[in-house]
Structure 1
Amino acid sequence: MSRVDSYKDGWLSHRKALQALIETLENNNLSFKPWDNAMSLSELVLHISSSTSMFVRTVNEGIFTPPNEGKTPETVEELKQMVQSDTDKTLTYLESITEEQLNQLVEFSGMKMTGLAMLETAKDHEIHHKGQLFTYARLIGVEELPFFVIRG
């Protein structure tokens, strides 16, 4: 198994858990904020999905590629579609990353790291914010949460 395939499998186990978490939401939950200056629940979900895509595109293209600005979803179904679209795009970019790109240095936020380190940073970022979403879900009353990873 290539390093990209191994990375992709690990990342997808977290993305599937994010998608399962979205399934527990209702439309009126999307604007929930635990404090005034926090991201709303839907903003946090989209931050996760678009940021991972940004990190992967940056490795793929060799230079920082900012995330795409999207619209605000009005329904859970729309949010699911937006996350699925980001997931599909991220997979497409991942599948075209070469071993050379994994080894090349990429600059991001004043740091230089290999492409593989950048991908690991993307996964860590997604895990960090997914944990916040699990807390949001508890605060809005979701009792049955998915496991933190979904393999297979």
Structure 2
Amino acid sequence: MNRSAIYARNFESHRAALLDLYAQLPEDQATFSAWDGGMSFIGQADHLSGSASRLLNMIQGQAPGDLPAPSQSLAEARERLQQSMAAATGAMTAMSDEDLSRRIPAFGGREMPVAALLDAIVAHEAHHKGQVWLMARMVGVKPPMFVRMG
């Protein structure tokens, strides 16, 4: 398995587990947040979908783009998570080792190798997924395994 496929698999193992959890969340908890001013279940999903899309745009030499309007339901948020997972894993899988080594303008104008941005996408996904796991327990939902294997 080449490096880009490993990035795609790692991202997908986190996102697929997140989708498994979102499938369990009741619609009446869509706007729950764990603390005042924190992101809700919908907000977390939209943030992760939008962040992955924006970082991949940067990697492909495009402007990050604007975030779409907030999802109106958990169903819409789930669909965005699914679509951005497919787009991200497809883009990652298509990268060559040369692509992964290429340096691009990133945060604050600093240049970073594409591989470092892919690491950031996976770490960002895991960070927010941990928050969602805690939130789910707060509303009485038992999360699935933290990553989906296979």
TM-score in terms of structure 1 length: 0.88
* Aligned equivalent of 2:83, options 61, 75, 85: 85
CA RMSD for the aligned pairs? 1.7
Aligned to 1:99: 97
C-alpha distance 84-29 of structure 1, shift in aligned 2 (>3 A): same
Q: Deviations over 1:106-130 (max 9, x none)?
A: 2222232100011001100000000
Runs of 4+ residues deviating >3 angstroms? none
Q: What SS does the aligned partner of 2:111 have? A: strand
Q: Deviations over 1:2-44 (max 9, x none)?
A: 1101111111111111011101201111111222211111111
Identity of aligned residues (%): 29
C-alpha distance 67-101 of structure 1, shift in aligned 2 (>3 A): farther
Aligned to 1:48: 48
C-alpha distance 14-134 of structure 1, shift in aligned 2 (>3 A): same
Larger mean CA deviation between 81-90 and 61-70 belongs to: 61-70
**Matched letter for residue 78 of structure 1:** E
Structure 1 residue 67: deviation in Å?
Answer: 5.4
Does 1:28 pair with 2:21? no
Structure 1's unaligned 5+ residue stretches are: none
**Matched letter for residue 45 of structure 1:** A
Q: CA contact under 8 A between 2:12 and 2:89: conserved in structure 1?
A: no
Aligned to 1:136: 135
**Matched letter for residue 123 of structure 2:** D
C-alpha distance 71-11 of structure 1, shift in aligned 2 (>3 A): same
Larger mean CA deviation between 6-15 and 121-130 belongs to: 6-15
TM-score in terms of structure 2 length: 0.89
Q: CA contact under 8 A between 2:29 and 2:139: conserved in structure 1?
A: yes
- Counterpart CA distance in 2 for 1:118 and 1:64 is 15
- Counterpart CA distance in 1 for 2:54 and 2:96 is 17
What is the total number of aligned residue pairs between the two structures?
149
Q: What SS does the aligned partner of 1:23 have? A: helix
